[in-house]
Amino acid sequence: DAGVIQSPRHEVTEMGQEVTLRCKPISGHNSLFWYRQTMMRGLELLIYFNNNVPIDDSGMPEDRFSAKMPNASFSTLKIQPSEPRDSAVYFCASSFPSGRAGELFFGEGSRLTVL
């Protein structure tokens, strides 16, 4: 199994530019999570999906952030326009749905730097 695949691994962009991060979850996993990791705030859950449907987006910082899951094998997290404070490592994770939280499988992350 290839695991959770994220792209790009590194992105450097200028303030105001649009950023799109991509995630392919593990085949057969029905839940997908987007987390953001910074030194100051640690790991924060931004949004999660069950069966391609957004369940909880209360962690999305503001309207500049949006996430989609058009099908079971692909999700995007978009930031438009980007700001320096968005600089962080963004992780995608997937799991089997179980009603209760089970084991999460994380991708290697996308390190975003906004200049």
Partner 1 sequence: SQQGEEDPQALSIQEGENATMNCSYKTSINNLQWYRQNSGRGLVHLILIRSNEREKHSGRLRVTLDTSKKSSSLLITASRAADTASYFCATDAPGGGNKLTFGTGTQLKVEL
| CA distances from residue 43 to 49, 52, 89, 90, 100 in whole angstroms, order as listed | 18, 22, 9, 9, 20
CA distances from 20 to 11, 33, 110, 114 (A): 10, 16, 10, 13
CB 48 to partner 1: min, Å? 6
- Judged by CB under 8 A, the residue of 8, 61, 102, 115 near partner 1 is 102
Residue 85: count other Cβ atoms within 10 Å of its Cβ.
11
Shorter beta-carbon distance to partner 1: residue 82 or 110:
110
Report if residue 74 touches partner 1, rule: CB under 8 A: no
**Binds partner 1 (CB under 8 A): choice among 12, 15, 101, 115:** 101
**Nearest to partner 1 of 7, 81 (CB atom):** 7
The yes or no reply on residue 91 touching partner 1 (CB under 8 A) is yes
Rounded Cα distance, 107 and 93, in Å: 6
45 vs 72, beta carbon nearer partner 1: 45
Comparing CB distances to partner 1, the nearer of 77 and 109 is 109
Q: What would the two tokens of residue 53 be?
A: 């449907």
